[in-house]
Amino acid sequence: MVLLHGLLVSSWCWRFTLPALSPTFRVVAPCHPGHGWSSKGPGDYSFRGLASTVLRMLDALGIERAHFVGSSLGGGVALRLALDHPDRVGRLVLVAPAAVPLPVVGPFLGVQGAHFGVLYRTMFTRPVLQTILKTLAYHRPIVDEAFMDAVWAPLASGETWAAAGRVSRHLSKDMAEVHESLPDVWKRALVVWGEHDGILPVRHAASVTGRLPLAESRVLSGCAHCPMEERPDLFNDLVMRFLSDVAARAS
């Protein structure tokens, strides 16, 4: 199992998922380049570039094929992998995936220009980011000072802001391409969406699921963009049920 996180966060978002899946699967939760504790600096931050980095990681770990759980940006990257390298991908769990046309997302991601990193770092001070998380990304009151300490740590140097800027230069094109290609993803997929998602609204769950040939959908109440953090027990149960026959064969 490979867990791929979203934009401007890190593998810390899977802190409740890892212990639930690891007794059954070998679980790998990397940080995207430029995010969290991964290396920073120039590179290809398009969906294809991020997918290539995942493939190199799989090769380095001797993993020929994996199931993927992708949240937001990570969902878009997982779908790009399934499109370009279907032999390396098993099943998909897509959590509000970046697979819809860009205009539906928050306006702060829709800005186009050459200085995204500076823009992000200027706009998203800690208090501003905390407000955004509380109002758009999370429905339950889990964003407190300790939570913000963990989220803010990889952002403090500003290098992650630059990486987010590089991702955003490609985001509109990448999301549109993946959305258009969804009918070509012949993988069993579970699409999970939070009912109160303020980043990628839940109304798009049906369109993503409907364009995937082998997909089923679950909308979770009481959570927003990050159900694996807000309702971890329910989320983990859904994932394990979706993969139950795979787990049985592996054992």
Rounded to 5 degrees, φ, ψ at 145 are -65, -40
* Rounded (10°) CA dihedral 62, 39, 50, 244: 50
Contact status, residue 244 vs residue 93, Cβ threshold 8 Å: no
d(CA 163, CA 153): 15
Alpha helices in the chain (DSSP H): 17-21, 47-61, 73-84, 107-110, 116-123, 126-132, 145-152, 159-181, 205-211, 227-230, 232-242, 244-250
Q: Is 179 a catalytic residue?
A: no
CA angle 144, 236, 210 (to 5 degrees): 105
d(CA 7, CA 223): 18
Residue closest to 169 by CA, chosen among 47, 10, 54: 47
d(CA 115, CA 203): 31
Per-residue b/e over 208-219, b at no fewer than 16 CB within 10 Å? bbebbeebebbb
Q: Which of the residues 179, 196, 204, 225 is marked catalytic?
A: 225
Contact status, residue 40 vs residue 34, Cβ threshold 8 Å: yes
Catalytic residues: 225
